[in-house]
Amino acid sequence: MNVERLPGGVAVVTLLAESAQNAFSIKSIKQISETLYSLIDDDEISAYVLTGSGKFFCAGADINEFRSCYDDGTIADLVSGLTDILHPLLVKIRQSDTVYVAAINGAAAGGGLGLALSADYRVASSGAKLAAAFFPLGLSPDGGTTWLLPRLVGEQRSRRFFFENETWSSIDALEHGAIDEVTNPENLVDRAIDVAKEWGKWARASRGGTKQLLESQSYNIFSVQLKEEQERIVAASQTEEFSQGVNEFLQKK
């Protein structure tokens, strides 16, 4: 895994070939988790880009490891261990005030699909593909995909995606609303960095408050959501960034 810190508070995380292809071994998912946690908790980083290598953005679990663990009776421990790491990471990503842009260079499948869908913004290469890939293995979906995908494309479209074991090209994914834009492979990471800089430039309270409020609106009733909005805007109004924003507005006026 490679981490590049750029001027302007943006970092680019690249999953190297082995991690991108078999990202969800215990060892590699720990490395991914630790890296993303460190960036999210770094006050100097306002946004980060995650991308893969070659034909893979993040292809999910190591099927060979599944085979050996099933045969020796440790498969439940493996699956529990993987999800015990992945699930808290996904919650942290969604609730954090750090912007996450996925630069989907190739196949995003299984738990890797969840890692892509959890992003605040998704830029895909023209050669990218999205697949669930759970049903052929006799598994039910994981990686937050049953929560994330319906909120992007709708419940019935998600149902068809899973039950028909569909693979979406980047154009399919764009048409369905699962990604935000498609670009050519040569511009993919640069475009993702541009979005990260643009979205990451806003005040921490604006970024974090908006992400968390958009998350909670899906299950809150209106009155509860209004209360949460009130609490967050009151807190934001007491920050130095608010004071600076008011000054700049008044000076322009």
pLDDT tens-digit profile of 131-153?
999 999 999 999 999 999 999 99
The whole-chain average pLDDT of the chain stands at 95
- Does the pLDDT of residue 18 top 80, yes or no? no
Overall average pLDDT of the 152-158 stretch: 98
Q: Which fold has domain 2-200?
A: 2-enoyl-CoA Hydratase; Chain A, domain 1 (3.90.226)
Overall average pLDDT of the 173-194 stretch: 98
Overall average pLDDT of the 225-235 stretch: 96
Question: Which pLDDT belongs to residue 253?
Answer: 74
Among the residue ranges 17-21, 52-56, 69-73, 223-227, the one predicted with the least confidence is: 17-21
Cα–Cα distance measured from residue 39 to residue 146, given in angstroms and rounded to the nearest whole number: 26
The DSSP code sequence of the chain is -EEEEETTTEEEEE--HHHHHSTTSHHHHHHHHHHHHHHHT-TT-SEEEEE-BTTEEE--S-HHHHHHHHHTT-HHHHHHHHHHHHHHHHHHHHHSSSEEEEEE-SEEETHHHHHHHTSSEEEEETT-EEE---GGGT----TTHHHHHHHHH-HHHHHHHHHTT-EEEHHHHHHHTSSSEEE-GGGHHHHHHHHHHHHHTS-HHHHHHHHHHHHHTTTS-HHHHHHHHHHHHHHHTTSHHHHHHHHHHHHH-
Q: Which amino acid is at 149?
A: L
Overall average pLDDT of the 168-180 stretch: 98
Percent of the chain clearing pLDDT 90 (strictly above) = 91
Question: Which pLDDT belongs to residue 132?
Answer: 96
Taking residue 52's Cβ as centre, other Cβ atoms within 10 Å add up to: 30
Please give the C-alpha separations between residue 174 and each of 130, 153, 178, in angstroms, as whole numbers: 11, 10, 6
pLDDT tens for 63-95 read 889 999 999 999 999 999 999 999 999 999 999
Let me know: does 214 contact 99? Beta carbons within 8 Å: no
Strand partners, 182: 124
Question: Which pLDDT belongs to residue 19?
Answer: 65
Residue entry with tokens 């946690």: 37
Let me know: does 35 contact 178? Beta carbons within 8 Å: no
| Domain boundaries of the chain, sorted by first residue | 2-200, 204-252
- Does the pLDDT of residue 11 top 80, yes or no? yes
Overall average pLDDT of the 172-185 stretch: 98
